Structure 1
């Protein structure tokens, strides 16, 4: 088992406050967050939704690569983007959905088999599994 850690230090109220998210395990980066940059324009700051999009696109790419390799058709390249939608829902805010788009170069694999493997990767990717209850769509194709 592995564990990864991040910390956010927040100052102020929701409307005017801000926070800094640090990636504690890797020490790879620190990011500034605020509610206005989350709910409106990014203005050079990140958001929980963008961090989820980064996690999901990288996890999905790894899962797809693993399944393609297990199929005997390792990929030359996979490019995955994730768009996480955030907005008003009921009395508050929510993640409204996630749209994954994947393009892959996989020699020797036909489109139908690729689509089947791509859907399986979406279903079993650990980040997808953690986000059960959120609608996740997939547009996957060979490039």
Structure 2
């Protein structure tokens, strides 16, 4: 399996702008710029790579946990995960230093201990977690 995305950028790093497109077409020339990345400009004006990493990580983690829960005999009603990507200035550039996952899961008939164990396994083993070189922390809450 191979997935692709394309970025086109015009102009300088701080004054230019670009757009992102994905193979599936879900993203088709979505705008991004220095302002949407570093100045928290209104999200309606574009996205940024860190936001996309957060979305990919939350989605990957939820799917990995869903599989682990299924294999353990549980059927989750809902897994709701927010991934917060932290971008920090380091030297002359920037680095993603942390990602924090906040999970709220509705899973009938599971103990809190089993839920935590499976959530930690998904955090460690989802492909996006494995590819990122950042400290990945998590809070997992079982809700009823």
TM-score bracket for the superposition, by shorter chain length = over 0.9
Aligned residue for 1:88?
89
For 1:43 and 1:105, locate their aligned partners in 2 and report how far apart those are by CA, in whole Å. 32
Deviation at 1:42, TM superposition (A): 3.0
Aligned residue for 1:5?
4
Aligned residue for 1:102?
103
How does 1:1-143 map onto structure 2 within 5 Å?
Answer: 2-23=1-22, 25-30=23-28, 31-44=30-43, 45-131=46-132, 133-143=133-143
- Residues 37-60 of structure 1: CA deviation (Å, up to 9, x unaligned): 211113232110000000000000
Task: Give the TM-score of the pair, scaled to structure 2.
Answer: 0.93
Provide the aligned C-alpha RMSD in A.
Answer: 1.0
For the 8 Å contact 1:39–1:87, the answer to whether it is kept is no
For 2:83 and 2:120, locate their aligned partners in 1 and report how far apart those are by CA, in whole Å. 15
For the 8 Å contact 1:39–1:86, the answer to whether it is kept is no
2:87 aligns to what SS in structure 1?
strand
Deviates more, 1:39-48 or 1:55-64: 39-48
Deviation at 1:84, TM superposition (A): 0.5
2:80 aligns to what SS in structure 1?
strand
For 2:117 and 2:68, locate their aligned partners in 1 and report how far apart those are by CA, in whole Å. 10
2:134 aligns to what SS in structure 1?
coil
1:98 aligns to what SS in structure 2?
strand
For 1:97 and 1:46, locate their aligned partners in 2 and report how far apart those are by CA, in whole Å. 19
1:59 aligns to what SS in structure 2?
helix
For 1:9 and 1:97, locate their aligned partners in 2 and report how far apart those are by CA, in whole Å. 27
Task: Give the TM-score of the pair, scaled to structure 1.
Answer: 0.94
Q: Which runs of 5+ in 2 are unaligned?
A: none
Give the paired residue count.
140
